[in-house]
Amino acid sequence: MDLLNYHFPVSGVETWVFLPPLVAFVVSFFTSMGGVSGAFLILPFQVSVLGFTSPSVSATNFVYNIVAIPSGVYRYVKEGRMAWPLTWVVIVGTLPGVFIGYYLRVLYLPDPRSFKAFVGCVLLYLGVRLLYEMTPRSQRGKEEMKALEEKFDVHARALKEDRTARIASGLPAEAVIKTLSFSPARVEYEFWGERFSFSTPAMFCLAFVVGIIGGTYGIGGGAIIAPFCVAVFRLPVYTVAGAALMGTFLTSIAGVLFYSVVPVKAGLSTAPDWQLGFLFGIGGFVGMYCGARLQKVVPQKFIKATLGGLMLFLSVRYILPLVTALF
């Protein structure tokens, strides 16, 4: 096998066999800290760099999620940083949306250009909103959130100053997420001695819309749900990350089933390229584990800035071709 020019028969891609896992490792390492699998950057890499443009690329992106995400989820569950009520609301809302997104992709959007522009507009808004949350004007009146960030910053500095401390050391008992109430109307939980809550129907509606977008492009939805939870629902990113990853993992399984089993019109390729998806997934698996392991010692502002910057980058890549065509 020629590692410098390997041919993937399903997708028709020819590339250095180590390139997919390397790219996936770098992307997932940073994005997993904010509850994002990195699929929203892996897909444009496949389309723009590898030339993989058929609907199969969406299914292949789901394979990446399935292989890569479990390592990150494991860390969040082990350390008690999984907000289970939020996770279940996201899953229940996203699953039907993924099914609708599948049909939009294969029946109405085999050419992804117009829909990518729409997704770019959504990500542009969310990215700008997330970065705005870091400005002094936005921070006024958010003393509780500031206190939460200061607690994490103090703990992070203590870990760094103690040379004998392992990065994998657990968080204090008060940093474990505790569910206070879970009802069809509202969810409330405690973290670092502070209480956070959100409307169950509102979160369900968000997950449903995100499921449609994620089902169409194979991004799972974490790239949209995570920053939206932080910017709009005022939930700390430390409690959102695990839930977003778990929701993306389960909906990705459903997405692969839809793209592999549900019949489509003749001549349209929708089944995933398992080899290519697995290689991306291996790199993502390692990257997400490292990212989730180091998240607790990285300032929340850095996570927000990284996630917001990545979303702006992706939005420009989605919107620019449409603007160029119009003008």
How far is Cα 166 from Cα 159, in angstroms, rounded to an integer?
Answer: 8
How far is Cα 133 from Cα 117, in angstroms, rounded to an integer?
Answer: 24
pLDDT value, residue 92: 92
pLDDT value, residue 151: 64
pLDDT averaged per 10 residues, the chain (length 327)? 77 91 89 73 85 87 90 80 89 92 83 75 79 71 58 60 47 72 92 87 93 83 79 82 86 90 74 94 89 73 78 85 77
Kindly give the pairing relationship between strand 194-199 and strand 6-7: unpaired
- Specify the pTM: 0.77
Q: Which residues of 77-105 are buried (b: 16+ CB within 10 A; e: fewer)?
A: eebebbbbbbbbbbbbbbbebbbebbbeb
Structure token pair of residue 292: 């989730």
pLDDT value, residue 192: 76
How far is Cα 203 from Cα 226, in angstroms, rounded to an integer?
Answer: 11
Domain ranges of the chain: 19-162+175-261+269-326
Q: What residue type is assigned to position 278 of the chain?
A: F
pLDDT value, residue 3: 61
How far is Cα 85 from Cα 145, in angstroms, rounded to an integer?
Answer: 21
pLDDT value, residue 162: 55
pLDDT value, residue 167: 40
Task: Identify any residues that bridge with 181 across adjacent strands, giving them in sequence order.
Answer: 188
pLDDT value, residue 293: 76
How far is Cα 22 from Cα 5, in angstroms, rounded to an integer?
Answer: 16
pLDDT value, residue 136: 74
Helices 19-31 and 56-78: crossing angle in degrees, nearest 10, is: 50
